[in-house]
Structure 1
Amino acid sequence: MKKFLCILLALIMVNLCLMSGVVLAEVGETNGNPVVIGDPSVLPVGPSGKSFIQNPTTYCNPISLTQGSGRVLRGGEPVITMFEDDYYLFVSMQRGYWWSHDFKDWTWVSASNLASGIIGVVEIDGKLYSYAGNSNDRVTVTDDPKSGIWTDAGRFSSTNYGDAAMLYDEETGRLFMYYGWSQILGIRVVELDKTTFKEIGEPVVCIWGDPHNHGWETRYSDDLIFPYFDHREYRPEEYGWTEGGHPLKYNGKYYLLFASIGLEFYSYGHGVYVADDPMGPYVYSEHNPLTMKTTGVAPGAGHGSIFQDRDGNVWTVCMTGYALDGGRGDTLIQLFPTGVDEEGVMHGKVEYGDYPQYLPGVKADPINDNYTGWVLLSLDKRVETSSTLENYWPAFAVDEDAKSYWSAQTGDPGEYMTVDLGAVCDIRGIQVLWDRAGTSGGGWGSLDRYQSYTVEVSNDNQNWTLIIDKSNNPQDLRTDYIELPTSVHARYVKLTNVFTPDNGRFAVKALRVFGNPEEATFTKVENVTAVRSIVDRRKASVVWEPVPGAEGYVVRYGIEPDKLYNSYMVYWDNYLNIRSLNVDPEYYFEVEAFSSGTPHYFENTFETRGRGAELDLRRQPTGGSTTTDRVMTYETYGRDEVYVFENITPGTYTLSHTFGMRIWGPQQLTEEQLIGTSTEPTYTALNLMEFGIGTTRWGTIGVMVYPGETSGRIEVVLKYDQAVEPDVQPEVILTGSDSVQPGSEFTVGINLNTDDQDIYAEDITLNFDPDVFEYVATTGANEDINIMDSKLIDTDTLRIIAANIGGVNGSNSPILNVSFKVKSGVENTIGTIAVTQAKLGVAPSGAVLDATLATKSISIGGSTPSVDKTALISAINNAQSLYDDAVVGTEPGQYPQEAKDALLDAINAAKAVKNDPSATQSQVDNAVTALNTAVQAFEAAVNKSPDINDDGITDVGDLAIVAYYYGKTSASEDWAAAKIADMNGDNKIDIVDLAYVAANIPGEVFEE
């Protein structure tokens, strides 16, 4: 015992020494495993008071929009534009808007003369014009939008410009109106007079919806989030609404953004057409959809706008439906990076789209580098609550379902939910999504205080540190995302109600905890199979090999191998049915697995939602009518189950299993037994019935009666004989390479599938081939796994005893790393490492479980023959010197950028072979040949001097030499002489070579 305590003390001292730069939380945490916080002085985070973006660096979709102390606003049909180097955000149905210089801090501007409707804005010659074509024909203008003063500027020719959006082409001075929202009528464009706003010419249809050929433009009834109408049923398939046309001129092309299929669907999204002229014709992009997000808490990404930020990067802002109480609710905002590739293909980035992303202006290349890398730590983790309204289960707050939510039984202060992340995590951000349950009134009037709460963290679920304090929250944020200003390392996250408005219950759609950027893994899946439907080419089925420990997968797809611009996110499953494809092109697919590095918790619904076995108490009070009370029973695994029936008055009572056997009674209870102040039972009936599973008895059922001041209570107790663990089969998993090189050192990982048990200790015995391997060392998979003993008890047997601080519970949870070395002289054979005993300690019950064992066979390769890399090293040094000295430019002796890039690629490929210890001589020789060929091509690409006759001046004499050899190619017999006229090194003499020499002849004519 003394040795054990000494080891623990040493571990604690080591951990304290390593924590330079951070401090232990001083508030609440007093136990031996405190929360670690970087800078406690910046916590807790309070209300920001901001309308749109709440944080300095990141955002997390979906985003709530507010104004002052008013109710959450409808983020409908959002438009973001830049005017005089500031951002402006407009949404429909508002007499005002917001502006920001940095996209972080937004200021509300009230504008009483602003047209109210589906808003649109356009800049024309230094002034900003606004309109709402759905509702009226007015156009208003301002040269100072921060003032909120807009004056009438003209009237449209029509009040039927539904979903109106204008484009002013500064190069031509022409103004165009795009409008239309319909399932069959399409989107039109018409040219307007830029001063009167009257039509010039006739409208032209740009596009119609095409659900026959574009799967993502099809409304499927089973894709519905909530219905928008009740006069009919949704058909199995319907035309999508083609709506929200929004133009953008970019690099000389005209892009027309449009939305399809409707706000009420998970697959609501955006697509684009492109044209060379604003009036068309417009060509459909087969890379569509541009934005479409069907999974997670924020499905739907349609009817918004595209804009360029201050750095010229393109973004798409969308509106998304937000279900309340499982039905139609609010409309919120989503923001996605968007790009235009070298071939002019516009594409959006929705993968990890409802995880924290960087704000515009933070990253130089947001289309490729905008995800923070903070993964979702709370996904399907164990949740503890203060109370639960039946059918609104705790698991619903962490299941990433857009419609489900957990609700407490009341909205009283103190109602709470706690998420166990399964391990101490690096927490970077927290997002809470609220629902509405049991509220009174319509929720329209402004309040002084909205949903108010606190967030605390802990490492033991007992001692808590406050990190977010919104106890007096003045903002109606349907979604509340907090980017933590300092590092927080903790295992448990507790969300506590302080105030719920509108007399509602404390209802949480999602408590989302993000972080672990260093522990998270992103793994490309190798075995992916996609099958296109023969009957309906809009559809495909994708299946892939599961990755151990993966929580989810990003399935990328596209019509070119290097342009997989579309994606879905899948949690847990290793398959996906897609119906968003375009009929004509072929598709390519890839899958990326992601993991937070935390244990996987498997919910036991017998424990969390009940057995389905209920108890009925039949009441026959003296002089009263007969009634029945009913309660659900829950597994507790060794902790006595107690079910309480209150307000017991004198009479006759009977306890039964609902629809089943009688357990107790009928029993007469008297006033003497039920009225009084004693804390002891006045009536006891024990061992009434047995309960258990299979052939194993767990315990017996008893009834006890307690008195009260005006009435008594009956407690039904399912009393356990002893600590009972569920009938489970935990499993040991061996990980690591299946093949190693002679003489090499390697690591075998020991992971556990705990089958929903909290494992706090292990006693594991390993057996290995002593003629093949020798044992090196054992370490814990993380800092919470402490090796108490690890020693050889025989030449081929290793015993390891470990303790897990905080416990382990999950699927494929890493526990130990055991290092071995291949013995000298051993090669071309197979060795075996096996777990022959695995005893797991469960807490707090103290039960010991025997895990399923595992064996791993490892092949040892042969010795690698000596490989001579001298020539390769020399070739690399030569090429690198040539690369370093080369100057990019158009002057003689300089090189084109693409030629230098090609040489660098060849150098890197050669270096990869040089650094590969398993490279064969043949691979080395081929690398030398390939690099020398690349060097020759690079040298040939140098910009030649136009002074061909080498007389010190470029003139018609040089031009004559090119004209003389005009038409010659590398296949010509006299190419050896003719190639002096090949200026661009393309192995032919043509007009390009003539033009090059002519352009370098001195003189104003040629210079012009």
Structure 2
Amino acid sequence: MKKAYYIALGFLLYCVIKVNPTFGQATYCNPLNLDYTYMIYNAHQDISYRSGADPAVVKFRGEYYMFVTRSMGYWHSTDLTNWNFIRPEKWYFQGSNAPAAHNYKDSVLYVAGDPSGSMSVLYTDNPKKGDWKTVPAILNDLQDPDLFIDDDGQAYMFWGSSNKFPIRAKTLDRHKRFRPSEKTYELFNLVPDKHGWERFGENHRDTVLGGYIEGPWLTKHANKYYMQYAAPGTEFNVYGDGVYVSDHPLGPYRYAPNNPIAYKPGGFANGAGHGSTVLGSGNQYWHFGSMAVSVNVGWERRICMFPTYFDQEGLMYANTRFGDYPHYAAGTSKQGAFAEWMLLSYHKPVSVSSTVGEFSAQHIVDESIKTFWLAAANDDKQWVQIDLLKPATVYAIQINYHDYKSDMYGRIPDLKHQYIIEGSLDGDNWRVIVDKQDNQRDVPNEYVSLTSPERLRYVRYKNIHVPTPHLAISGLRVFGKGEGKKPATVKGFQVRRHQDKRDVTITWNRQKNIQGYNVLWGIAPDKLYSAWMVYDDNKLEMKSLTTDQTYYFAIEAFNENGVSEKTNVQEVK
């Protein structure tokens, strides 16, 4: 009897996997669900908030380490998906600032990034223990450092965080306590008059202040040196990373024509700048960056990651299309690919246990990390219920908690979020689909892929415990597949380039039953590497182009049922 049962079960699993070969594969969703540290920058103003930014991610002895600004430690992972915080034996007193990290031949892991700008280089061969030792020399006047040791053993220090000075470099003598060269090399600076995406402000609209060039990170690939840099400012939706390419670490560097290479100005969480690039399993690169929350203060941020590639011509690019929707995780057979689970909760009716002031329930489903619902209490009587209006297959759920007057500072131990999520087809009969009532982890940007998909119309979050004095949620995002029709191809797509070649106006015809659109563009018809997600509207003012570059544009529409075919590609000179 048992043998027959297991044969039948095996056959069923075979059929499921045959029909859906990605069944059971891990996924992830930006912003990443890390137990972010509470910052102390603004404690004197009683402003409390979590933040994670400027990630330096390196592979060391087959595993991964992530160093993040002012986190009072760092994170470790074996798979680039599940991260655990390490409290090192020795570390920077106030945490590292815009840290650098470098793995030298799997023998030693180096880091640098003292907030003062004057720093020693730390090193260890046991980062899990964190017995960091100090190279007895001080490097001065560095902000946003990047330590790089080439295959020939020559070491370099790059740095830059300024709206005036360029990315700069010194050579370091590893055999003489990383003694820096007398000469300082100037590599490149922003050219906002030519490169539209380097202009300051939200949507690059500030014409008074100059943008900041920040966060250099050097990646060597196919004997070329890819110097990544961030602009124009961390608090803006258009914060991204560009790249210059050279045959030598000290240049001369050539501006990549498809810049910015990591750019995510639209959607739930914006920004993709000041990051690092690491090679994962299967020769898949991943680019980590910073996303803006910027509600409590401009420095309130989260970490993101995007699959990253080098095309046949050596162009580097990160794929940010549907960049805050579920994607297949590192190490899976489809790693980096969009899972094609659509957003089922967008603008759907929400009912809640209680509400305070203007922080209404609809903020939970408005696809903005900057708005949030605030409950009257943080106890186990609080709940949120979303009516998806029609039955759909739910695959994953993301809960983004918000810090409202949290009055918490520094690295606080033993924080945890506890809750359950229930689902129903009729609103009367409920079943638990996510059970975290005994959870002991701190999960401020919780993402859960269901063990098996659930056909539901209603989704209900029931709070049990949050570590903060208030229960506030900026997004309860339900992902899956609707049972209706996906959109038709967009009509009336037009791109008009302005006299200022950095700017274009893009318009298209409105469609019914549409959530939003992805505007796609690049420097060739087969290189539409950049994407801008637009909800509800049928117009986009884009100010991120390079003046002397020809571009190609297309657009696709999406709703809870899927994504349309792209329009024909338009050339814009």
**Does TM, normalized by the shorter one, top 0.5?**
yes
Instruction: Write out aligned runs for 1:543-554 (5 A).
Output: 543-554=507-518
Distance (Å, rounded) in 1 between the aligned partners of 2:537 and 2:352: 28
Q: Which amino acid aligns with 1:512?
A: R
Mapped pair 1:379 → 2:343: no
Q: Which amino acid aligns with 1:101?
A: T
Contact 2:225 2:248 in 1 (8 A): yes
SS in 2 for 1:395: helix
How far off is 1:105 after superposition? 4.1
How far off is 1:56 after superposition? 6.9
Spell out, residue by residue over 1:369-410, the C-alpha distance to the aligned partner (whole angstroms, 9 max, x if none). Answer: x11000100011111222332322222110112211122333
Q: Which amino acid aligns with 1:258?
A: Y
CA RMSD of aligned residues (A): 2.8
Spell out, residue by residue over 1:547-568, the C-alpha distance to the aligned partner (whole angstroms, 9 max, x if none). Answer: 4432211110112111111110
Report the equivalent of 1:14.
Answer: none
SS in 1 for 2:282: coil
Report the equivalent of 2:124.
Answer: 142
Q: Which amino acid aligns with 1:91?
A: V
How far off is 1:141 after superposition? 2.1
Aligned partner of 1:528 among 470, 488, 493: 493
Instruction: Write out aligned runs for 1:744-759 (5 A).
Output: none
* 1:520/1:78 CA distance change after superposition, 3 Å: farther
Report the equivalent of 1:59.
Answer: 28
Report the equivalent of 2:113.
Answer: 132
Report the equivalent of 1:343.
Answer: 313
By percentage of residues, which structure has more helix? 1
Report the equivalent of 1:301.
Answer: 272
SS in 1 for 2:283: coil
Report the equivalent of 1:537.
Answer: 501
Instruction: Write out aligned runs for 1:197-596 (5 A).
Output: 197-200=178-181, 202-220=183-201, 236-324=207-295, 327-328=297-298, 330-363=300-333, 366=336, 370-437=337-404, 439=405, 441-442=407-408, 446=412, 448=414, 450-504=416-470, 506-516=471-481, 521=486, 524-525=489-490, 527-534=492-499, 536-596=500-560
* 1:446/1:124 CA distance change after superposition, 3 Å: closer
Spell out, residue by residue over 1:819-869, the C-alpha distance to the aligned partner (whole angstroms, 9 max, x if none). Answer: xxxxxxxxxxxxxxxxxxxxxxxxxxxxxxxxxxxxxxxxxxxxxxxxxxx
Q: Which amino acid aligns with 1:492?
A: Y
Report the equivalent of 2:150.
Answer: 169
Distance (Å, rounded) in 2 between the aligned partners of 1:579 and 1:180: 24
Instruction: Write out aligned runs for 1:844-863 (5 A).
Output: none
Q: Which amino acid aligns with 1:290?
A: I
Q: Which amino acid aligns with 1:208?
A: N
Distance (Å, rounded) in 1 between the aligned partners of 2:83 and 2:380: 32
Q: Which amino acid aligns with 1:60?
A: C
Report the equivalent of 2:565.
Answer: none
Q: Which amino acid aligns with 2:428?
A: Q
Distance (Å, rounded) in 1 between the aligned partners of 2:558 and 2:328: 19
Distance (Å, rounded) in 2 between the aligned partners of 1:587 and 1:186: 27
Contact 1:189 1:206 in 2 (8 A): yes
SS in 2 for 1:352: coil
How far off is 1:484 after superposition? 0.7
Distance (Å, rounded) in 1 between the aligned partners of 2:413 and 2:154: 47
SS in 1 for 2:183: strand
Report the equivalent of 1:151.
Answer: 133
* 1:67/1:333 CA distance change after superposition, 3 Å: closer
Spell out, residue by residue over 1:75-113, the C-alpha distance to the aligned partner (whole angstroms, 9 max, x if none). Answer: 221111112222222223345333333334444433233
Distance (Å, rounded) in 2 between the aligned partners of 1:396 and 1:137: 43
* 1:267/1:105 CA distance change after superposition, 3 Å: closer
Distance (Å, rounded) in 2 between the aligned partners of 1:110 and 1:190: 31
How far off is 1:466 after superposition? 1.3
Spell out, residue by residue over 1:450-482, the C-alpha distance to the aligned partner (whole angstroms, 9 max, x if none). Answer: 443221111112221111233344333221111
Q: Which amino acid aligns with 1:141?
A: Y
* 1:192/1:77 CA distance change after superposition, 3 Å: same
* 1:499/1:96 CA distance change after superposition, 3 Å: closer
Contact 2:102 2:110 in 1 (8 A): yes
Distance (Å, rounded) in 2 between the aligned partners of 1:69 and 1:330: 10
* 1:460/1:365 CA distance change after superposition, 3 Å: closer
Distance (Å, rounded) in 1 between the aligned partners of 2:461 and 2:335: 36
Q: Which amino acid aligns with 2:133?
A: T
Report the equivalent of 2:5.
Answer: none
Contact 1:218 1:237 in 2 (8 A): no
How far off is 1:533 after superposition? 1.0
* 1:418/1:329 CA distance change after superposition, 3 Å: farther
Instruction: Write out aligned runs for 1:545-944 (5 A).
Output: 545-597=509-561
Contact 1:259 1:270 in 2 (8 A): yes
How far off is 1:151 after superposition? 2.0
SS in 2 for 1:216: helix
Contact 1:337 1:348 in 2 (8 A): yes
Distance (Å, rounded) in 2 between the aligned partners of 1:279 and 1:217: 22
SS in 2 for 1:146: coil
Q: Which amino acid aligns with 1:132?
A: G
Q: Which amino acid aligns with 2:61?
A: E
Distance (Å, rounded) in 2 between the aligned partners of 1:236 and 1:578: 15
* 1:518/1:143 CA distance change after superposition, 3 Å: farther
Contact 2:37 2:50 in 1 (8 A): no
* 1:502/1:93 CA distance change after superposition, 3 Å: closer
Contact 2:384 2:462 in 1 (8 A): yes
Contact 1:133 1:159 in 2 (8 A): no
SS in 2 for 1:425: strand
Distance (Å, rounded) in 2 between the aligned partners of 1:251 and 1:395: 49
Q: Which amino acid aligns with 1:396?
A: H
How far off is 1:523 after superposition? 5.2
Contact 2:391 2:483 in 1 (8 A): no
Distance (Å, rounded) in 2 between the aligned partners of 1:74 and 1:537: 36
SS in 2 for 1:307: strand
Alignment length (residue pairs): 529
Please list every run of 5 or more consecutive structure 1 residues that lacks an aligned counterpart in the other structure.
Answer: 1-19, 23-37, 39-54, 225-234, 599-1008
Distance (Å, rounded) in 1 between the aligned partners of 2:226 and 2:263: 18
SS in 2 for 1:428: strand
Could you state the TM-score of these two structures normalised by the residue count of structure 1? 0.50
Quick check: 338-347 or 59-68, which moved more?
Answer: 59-68
Distance (Å, rounded) in 2 between the aligned partners of 1:64 and 1:520: 32
Report the equivalent of 1:102.
Answer: 79
Q: Which amino acid aligns with 1:352?
A: F
Spell out, residue by residue over 1:961-1005, the C-alpha distance to the aligned partner (whole angstroms, 9 max, x if none). Answer: xxxxxxxxxxxxxxxxxxxxxxxxxxxxxxxxxxxxxxxxxxxxx
Please list every run of 5 or more consecutive structure 2 residues that lacks an aligned counterpart in the other structure.
Answer: 1-10, 17-23, 40-47, 563-573
SS in 2 for 1:417: strand
Contact 1:319 1:334 in 2 (8 A): yes
Contact 1:88 1:97 in 2 (8 A): yes
Distance (Å, rounded) in 2 between the aligned partners of 1:105 and 1:502: 23
| Higher RCO by CA contacts (8 Å cutoff, separation 6 or greater) | 2
Distance (Å, rounded) in 2 between the aligned partners of 1:418 and 1:298: 22
